[in-house]
Amino acid sequence: MISEIQLSIELKEEAKKQGFDPVGIARIPGSKRIKMRNAALERWLEAGFQADMQWMKAERRKNIDSLLDGVESVLVVGLNYYTGPFPKTKNSLLIGRYAWGNDYHKVIEKKLKKIGHWLKNKSTKCKWEICVDSKPLLEKAWAEEAGLGWIGKNSNLIHKDQGSWMVLGYLLCTEKLTPDKPSIPLCGKCKKCIDACPTKAITEPFVINSNKCLAFHNIESREKKLPVNIQERIGNWIAGCDICQEVCPWNHQKITPNEDPDVQPKEWVKNLTIEQVLSWNEKIWQDKLKNSALKRIKPWMWRRNANAIVASRKKYDLNK
């Protein structure tokens, strides 16, 4: 029989073999900090900051036990999607880095399945369940609990060496594993992310009002036309927004680019133009969005966002 400590060590090593870094383990039910994060979620929902994202209200999100009967531990993994500096011109259409490569949901799930089968071979009675952000889990809180980083003032998880350029995955299991120490917040007095947000969506440290967030409006909102205040400040962000991450000092240190083919930017993502967005038919969009997290944005939404950018550019040029 392998010991709990040894199994935990080997499990994290296996996760790193799959390309995850950082990795960590948390035990259920977690520390008092989990209760604090649940309370913060309740306040956020009561304020209506979830906008149209009603799935954020799922009660299961506050109870990890609801995702796997008998869950004892959770392996939390980070997938670095930073691929190095990207040259931009004045009119370059901008897309959030998390979506440059293949659909991270599928990439993470595939890797975690291999780890789950590995764990099952080590402990035949162990049951496991995979979670990515499409399932109701308090994702960043459990990542913080497992020592992968702290939740920054822009609500992103920040690792002291890798910054915030990572997506997260979770392997819940019924095995008792040795937990890592929870992360300690290191944002200090810095508020660069708050100051840089063009729509003032970061209403106070750690609190994002989705009603004001560019990324919510150009990815999640199903309104036929973007609000005027969003159109005026959309810049060139056709899908997502990385401004609060780009200004974060923790992302200005030397971060090793990930060479995994799954996270490399697709050619059309790197060279997308307004003309393409407005002219591509449904078949072209279907081909381009295949195996991409960007398929959440429907073709008509891409055109809506492009029209908002065009209107913003015209207003900017006129004011000049």
Assess if residue 94 is contained within a domain.
Answer: no
- In terms of domains, do 219 and 251 share one? yes
Tens of pLDDT along 244-289? 999 999 999 999 999 999 999 999 999 999 999 999 999 999 999 9
Q: Please tell me the distance from the alpha carbon of residue 279 to that of residue 241, in angstroms, as a whole number.
A: 23
Identity at 94, one-letter amino acid code: L
Does any domain span residue 243? yes
Do 73 and 27 touch, CB atoms closer than 8 A?
yes
Question: What's residue 133's pLDDT?
Answer: 87
Task: Give the active site residues.
Answer: 133
Count structural domains, the chain: 2
205 and 141 in a common domain: no
Identity of the amino acid at 112: L
Within this chain, do residues 133 and 215 fall inside the same structural domain, yes or no? no
Please check whether residues 238 and 161 belong to one and the same domain. Answer: no
Q: What pLDDT sits at residue 316?
A: 65
5 near 178, Cβ under 8 Å? yes
Q: What is the pTM of this model?
A: 0.93
Checking if the pLDDT of 102 tops 60, the result is yes
On whether both 76 and 116 belong to a single domain, the answer is yes
Per the structure block, which two tokens stand in for 83? Answer: 């691929």
In a domain, 179, yes or no: no
pLDDT at 318: 46
222 and 158 belong to one structural domain: no
Q: Quick one: 132 and 204 in the same domain?
A: no
- Classify residue 184 as exposed, middle or buried by CB count within 10 Å of its CB (0-12, 13-18, 19+): exposed
CATH of the domain at 124: 3.40.109
User: In this structure, what token pair is assigned to residue 21?
Assistant: 């870094």
Are residue 110 and residue 208 in the same domain, yes or no? no
Q: Are residues 62 and 108 in the same domain?
A: yes
Q: Report, as an integer, the average pLDDT of 90-101.
A: 94
Q: Which two tokens stand for residue 243?
A: 């401004």
Residues 105 and 138 in one domain: yes
Does any domain span residue 231? yes
> Mean pLDDT over residues 165-183, rounded?
97
In a domain, 31, yes or no: yes
Same domain, residue pair 301 and 157: no
Residue that finishes a domain, picked among 139, 173, 207: 173
The reported pLDDT for the residue numbered 192 is: 98
Per the listing, tokens 């399945």 go with 113
Which of 173, 207, 224 is the last residue in one of the domains? Answer: 173
Q: Order of strands across the sheet with 128-131? A: 23-27, 73-80, 166-173, 128-131
Where is the domain boundary, 111, 139, 173? 173
Write out the two tokens for 227.
């609000």
- Residue of 82, 235, 266, 84 lying closest to 164 (CA atoms): 82
Residues 18 and 135 in one domain: yes
Q: Which residue segment(s) compose the domain that 151 sits in?
A: 4-83+101-173
